[in-house]
Structure 1
Amino acid sequence: MLIWQIFLVYSRVSLFSWGGGPASLALMQRESTAATWLPRGASAPVPWVTPAEFADAVAVGNALPGPIAPQVSAYVGYKLAGMPGAVAAVAGTILPTTLLMLLMIVFFFEVKDSDLVKAMLKVVRPIVVGLLLWTAYDMAVTVFGLNKLGLGEVFNGCWDKLLIVAVAFALLTFSKINPAFIILGGAMLGGVLYR
């Protein structure tokens, strides 16, 4: 039953996310932290993952090549039900939209220049930016150990993390360094500085 639930949750995330893998992370995080299960020996249901575990999944997924959404869903699925859970999560993340895309290809050239489709996308694209900002904000709350909207506390004892954010942003904005190298370099630096 849990395998089927994992597949359904990530199918829902896949079908209701716009803007690709990174944009789906907001909905994926909300669904993954809201869903509960009853582990063996537990007396009460627990969340599939905590916000901190989800942030770890995103960090690991960003360090690997390939699309982020299946990697993060595989992390959650594996935590819940081992390899079958990971397979169910990845299948739920990929299968529904792949089948939908195969169906859409048939009609694509008829709708791609539609005024209605263009008008809809003018609103959906900024919403995707908002979803990405929410994901970044929610992860920042976890990474910096803040209460929701406790932005003033960022500067209290978190200057090193803010510096890392600024350096990563500058490298991504002003250089052509592959993000994987920035993440791997950061991991090595963390292994030296924070051990």
Structure 2
Amino acid sequence: MTLWHLCLAFLRVGLLGYGGGPSSIPLVHKEVVDKYGWMTDDEFGDVLALGNALPGPIATKMAGYIGWRIAGFFGMLVALFATIVPTIILMVILLTFLLTFQDKGWVKGMTHAVVPVVAVMLATLTWQFFSKAKEGLGWWKAIVLVVISVVLMEGVGLHPAIVILALLVYVLVMPNKTQQSEVKRGKSIDG
């Protein structure tokens, strides 16, 4: 039954993820976190961050890892197949259709109308991640990290993968407050 649910979840992502990987991310989140509960928001954020840091299409990387995590090797195959095959079929059909009618106004309007919908989906997911970051870091640290990330990526032109890698290294190197307080409590109890 799990393989069937994996297939359905990533089939919906493959069918509805119009516009490529970034537009698929909110759909994957909806299926994996909200609908099936296979991951928490934090786990999904970790998978997304790692997926963005690695080369290749984000939707297939996420499908492969999530499928592997949920149902092993066959889960990975099912999730990848369900993500890729609808895209291939739809691409052949849509490109043939769009090339045939590309000069028609309604085709141009249809392709332009999708952009705001994808933008709203990405903005919603961004707000959800920012809210989670605020809970863990607090408003000021979350805002500072957002500003620094935007400046590095947009102002300096640094690749997002480098920014993500730098943040991962920072988190690994810098001890968090929970660990520090546990160490202090352990010392006071022992001392």
TM-score by length of 1: 0.81
Q: AA paired with 2:127?
A: Y
- For the pair 1:176 / 2:157, whether they are aligned, the reply is yes
- For the pair 1:96 / 2:86, whether they are aligned, the reply is yes
- Paired residues for 1:110-129 under 5 Å: 110-129=100-119
Partner SS for 2:55: coil
Q: If you compute each CA radius of gyration, which structure gives the higher value, 1 or 2?
A: 2
Which whole-Å CA distance do the structure 2 matches of 1:35 and 1:6 have between them?
A: 11
- Which residue in 2 is equivalent to 1:165? 146
Q: Which moved more, 1:53-62 or 1:82-91?
A: 82-91
Q: CA deviation at 1:83?
A: 1.9
- Which residue in 2 is equivalent to 1:40? none
Residue deviations 1:52-76 (CA, integer Å, cap 9, x gap) = 2111111111111111111222222
Which whole-Å CA distance do the structure 2 matches of 1:71 and 1:194 have between them?
A: 29
Which whole-Å CA distance do the structure 2 matches of 1:143 and 1:74 have between them?
A: 26
**% identical equivalent positions:** 33
Which whole-Å CA distance do the structure 1 matches of 2:131 and 2:61 have between them?
A: 22
Q: CA deviation at 1:140?
A: 1.8
Q: CA deviation at 1:114?
A: 2.0
Which whole-Å CA distance do the structure 2 matches of 1:121 and 1:108 have between them?
A: 9
2:98–2:107 CA contact under 8 A, matched in 1: no
- Which residue in 2 is equivalent to 1:11? 11
- Which residue in 2 is equivalent to 1:27? 27
- Which residue in 2 is equivalent to 1:187? 168
- For the pair 1:53 / 2:34, whether they are aligned, the reply is no
Q: AA paired with 1:32?
A: V
Q: Which runs of 5+ in 2 are unaligned?
A: 177-191
Which whole-Å CA distance do the structure 2 matches of 1:122 and 1:104 have between them?
A: 15
Q: CA deviation at 1:187?
A: 1.5
Partner SS for 1:98: helix
- For the pair 1:63 / 2:53, whether they are aligned, the reply is yes
Q: CA deviation at 1:5?
A: 1.8
Out of 59, 63, 68, the position equivalent to 1:78 is 68
Size of the alignment, in residue pairs?
176
More helix by share: 2
1:78–1:85 CA contact under 8 A, matched in 2: yes
- For the pair 1:132 / 2:122, whether they are aligned, the reply is yes
TM-score by length of 2: 0.83
Q: Which runs of 5+ in 1 are unaligned?
A: 37-46, 147-153
CA RMSD of aligned residues (A): 1.9
Q: AA paired with 2:62?
A: V
Q: AA paired with 2:104?
A: S
Q: CA deviation at 1:89?
A: 1.2
- Which residue in 1 is equivalent to 2:188? none
